[in-house]
Amino acid sequence: QSALTQPASVSGSPGQSITISCTGTSSDIGGYNYVSWYQHHPGKAPRLIIYDVTNRPSGISDRFSGSKSGATASLAISGLQAGDEADYFCSSYSFYNSLYVFGTGTKVTVL
Protein backbone atom coordinates (compact mmCIF):
# COMPACT_ATOMS: atom_id res chain seq x y z
CA GLN A 1 0.00 0.00 0.00
CA SER A 2 1.12 3.61 -0.54
CA ALA A 3 2.27 5.44 2.55
CA LEU A 4 0.62 8.61 3.75
CA THR A 5 2.69 11.68 2.86
CA GLN A 6 4.21 13.81 5.61
CA PRO A 7 6.85 16.55 5.43
CA ALA A 8 10.28 15.17 6.26
CA SER A 9 10.98 17.84 8.82
CA VAL A 10 9.34 20.72 10.66
CA SER A 11 11.04 23.09 13.08
CA GLY A 12 10.08 25.83 15.47
CA SER A 13 11.35 27.83 18.40
CA PRO A 14 10.29 27.17 21.99
CA GLY A 15 6.81 28.54 22.61
CA GLN A 16 5.87 28.63 18.96
CA SER A 17 3.21 26.53 17.26
CA ILE A 18 3.81 24.10 14.41
CA THR A 19 1.59 21.95 12.20
CA ILE A 20 2.40 18.62 10.59
CA SER A 21 0.33 17.48 7.62
CA CYS A 22 -0.50 13.93 6.61
CA THR A 23 -1.95 13.47 3.14
CA GLY A 24 -3.70 10.35 1.93
CA THR A 25 -6.56 9.47 -0.39
CA SER A 26 -10.30 8.91 -0.33
CA SER A 27 -9.59 5.26 0.50
CA ASP A 28 -7.96 6.07 3.80
CA ILE A 29 -7.91 9.50 5.46
CA GLY A 30 -10.57 10.98 3.19
CA GLY A 31 -13.00 8.13 3.72
CA TYR A 32 -12.80 7.38 7.42
CA ASN A 33 -12.32 9.13 10.75
CA TYR A 34 -9.63 6.71 11.88
CA VAL A 35 -6.55 8.91 11.88
CA SER A 36 -4.06 8.55 14.70
CA TRP A 37 -0.78 10.27 15.53
CA TYR A 38 2.25 8.97 17.39
CA GLN A 39 5.32 10.59 18.92
CA HIS A 40 8.51 8.55 18.66
CA HIS A 41 11.79 9.27 20.36
CA PRO A 42 14.31 6.99 18.57
CA GLY A 43 15.11 3.85 20.49
CA LYS A 44 12.01 4.17 22.63
CA ALA A 45 8.44 2.99 22.30
CA PRO A 46 6.18 5.17 20.13
CA ARG A 47 3.49 7.01 22.11
CA LEU A 48 -0.10 7.58 21.01
CA ILE A 49 -0.98 11.28 21.11
CA ILE A 50 -4.14 11.53 18.94
CA TYR A 51 -6.71 8.93 17.88
CA ASP A 52 -9.86 9.07 15.77
CA VAL A 53 -8.70 12.37 14.20
CA THR A 54 -9.19 14.65 17.20
CA ASN A 55 -9.17 12.66 20.44
CA ARG A 56 -6.37 12.83 23.00
CA PRO A 57 -5.64 9.87 25.27
CA SER A 58 -5.58 10.46 28.99
CA GLY A 59 -2.33 12.11 30.04
CA ILE A 60 -1.56 13.76 26.70
CA SER A 61 -1.14 17.53 26.89
CA ASP A 62 -3.79 19.72 25.28
CA ARG A 63 -0.92 21.39 23.42
CA PHE A 64 -1.41 18.56 20.93
CA SER A 65 -4.47 18.72 18.69
CA GLY A 66 -5.62 16.90 15.57
CA SER A 67 -7.87 17.80 12.67
CA LYS A 68 -8.81 16.65 9.19
CA SER A 69 -9.94 18.25 5.96
CA GLY A 70 -10.70 15.99 3.05
CA ALA A 71 -7.82 13.56 2.60
CA THR A 72 -5.37 15.56 4.69
CA ALA A 73 -5.01 15.25 8.44
CA SER A 74 -3.01 17.63 10.58
CA LEU A 75 -1.31 17.56 13.95
CA ALA A 76 -0.78 20.89 15.67
CA ILE A 77 1.63 21.38 18.53
CA SER A 78 1.35 24.64 20.44
CA GLY A 79 3.75 26.07 23.01
CA LEU A 80 6.61 24.04 21.54
CA GLN A 81 8.93 22.53 24.18
CA ALA A 82 12.35 20.88 24.00
CA GLY A 83 10.77 17.55 24.89
CA ASP A 84 8.60 17.73 21.79
CA GLU A 85 11.67 17.14 19.64
CA ALA A 86 10.98 13.70 18.18
CA ASP A 87 9.70 11.88 15.13
CA TYR A 88 5.94 12.02 14.52
CA PHE A 89 3.97 9.72 12.30
CA CYS A 90 0.34 9.45 11.33
CA SER A 91 -1.73 6.38 10.63
CA SER A 92 -5.13 5.66 9.12
CA TYR A 93 -7.44 2.81 8.39
CA SER A 94 -7.04 1.82 4.74
CA PHE A 95 -9.78 0.23 2.66
CA TYR A 96 -7.31 -1.71 0.60
CA ASN A 97 -5.40 -4.88 1.32
CA SER A 98 -3.85 -3.72 4.56
CA LEU A 99 -5.91 -2.57 7.51
CA TYR A 100 -3.48 0.17 8.37
CA VAL A 101 -1.43 2.66 6.41
CA PHE A 102 1.23 4.79 8.03
CA GLY A 103 2.79 8.14 7.25
CA THR A 104 6.33 8.67 6.05
CA GLY A 105 7.24 10.38 9.33
CA THR A 106 8.21 13.93 10.28
CA LYS A 107 11.19 14.94 12.36
CA VAL A 108 10.34 17.86 14.63
CA THR A 109 13.26 20.03 15.68
CA VAL A 110 13.03 22.60 18.45
CA LEU A 111 15.46 25.37 17.58
Partner 1 sequence: EVQLLESGGILVQPGGSLRLSCAASGFTFSNYLMTWVRQPPGKGLEWVSSISGSGGATSYADSVKGRFSMSRHNSQNTVFLQMNSLRAEDTAVYYCAKNPGDYEAYYFDYWGPGTLVTVSS
Query: Would you say 88 and 75 are in contact if contact means Cβ atoms under 8 Å apart?
Result: yes
| Among 27, 76, 104, 107, contact with partner 1 (rule: CB under 8 A) | 104
**Residue 45 exposure: Cα atoms within 13 Å on the Cβ side:** 3
Decide whether 44 or 62 has the Cβ nearer to partner 1: 44
Query: Would you say 106 and 10 are in contact if contact means Cβ atoms under 8 Å apart?
Result: yes
Query: Is there binding between residue 105 and partner 1 (CB under 8 A)?
Result: yes
Segment 3 to 42, residues that bind partner 1, using CB under 8 A? 3, 32, 34, 36, 38
Count of residues touching partner 1 (by CB under 8 A): 27
Query: Is there binding between residue 66 and partner 1 (CB under 8 A)?
Result: no
Query: Is there binding between residue 44 and partner 1 (CB under 8 A)?
Result: yes
Query: How far apart (Å, rounded) are the C-alpha atoms in residues 72 and 40?
Result: 21
Query: Is there binding between residue 111 and partner 1 (CB under 8 A)?
Result: no
Considering all CA atoms of the chain, what is the largest pairwise distance in Å, rounded to the nearest integer?
A: 41
Residue 83 DSSP class: G
| Among 47, 56, 63, 107, contact with partner 1 (rule: CB under 8 A) | 47
CB count within 10 Å of CB 108 equals 20
Q: Could you list the residues that contact partner 1 (CB under 8 A)?
A: 3, 32, 34, 36, 38, 43-48, 51-52, 57, 89, 91-93, 97-105
